Amino acid sequence: MYEYSREVYYYETDQMAVVHHSNYIRWLEEARTRYFAEVGLPYEVTESLGILSPIIGLEIEFKAFGRFGDRFTVKLCMPKYTGVRFDIEFIIVNQNNDTLAQGKSHHAFVSSKTYRPVSLAKAQPHLHQGMLGCIEAGGYE
């Protein structure tokens, strides 16, 4: 499991003084980008090879409000990878370990020229091996 943490910024809150729901999705992107960079699969590398990994689905359930000044942590893991598609499971907690949101995002590898699905195993075997190394079983601590 990978963890990404930072404080909630003031601009991420709304008129109700809580984090606007759209920011949770941004936090997932921040965490996923850092995760792949840290495991040696930065987006710049796959994109330079003509392969993109757009989000094709998102399931998110909001549990509690985040507020300005809170510290949040995105905990994520990749339980599924098929060579073309992968899933990221996540849970976002605050500094008290209260769950703010949880869910799953779904992604696919596509060609940057045609936007058609790409088998990473065939197109870039070394990246495919890296993805296989990222698969984690089990839940969150």
| Lookup: tokens for 82 | 């098929």
To the question of pTM greater than 0.85 for the whole model, the response is: yes
Strand locations in the chain, DSSP E? 2-7, 51-52, 55-62, 71-81, 85-94, 99-108, 110-111
Q: What is the pLDDT of residue 141?
A: 46
Residue type, 33: T
Mean pLDDT of the chain: 94
Domain boundaries, the chain: 2-134
Spatial CA neighbour of 34 closest among 77, 70, 2: 2
CATH number for region 2-134: 3.10.129.10
Q: What is the pLDDT of residues 78-133, one digit of tens each?
A: 999 999 999 999 999 999 999 999 999 999 999 999 999 999 999 999 999 999 98
How many helices (H) and strands (E) are present in the chain, helices listed first? 4, 7
Q: What is the pLDDT of residue 136?
A: 66
Q: What is the pLDDT of residues 3-36, one digit of tens each?
A: 999 999 999 999 999 999 999 999 999 999 999 9
| Lookup: tokens for 50 | 């003509």
Percentage with pLDDT > 90 across the chain: 91
Residue 66 phi/psi, 5° resolution?
Answer: -95, 150
Q: What is the pLDDT of residue 135?
A: 85
Residue type, 88: I
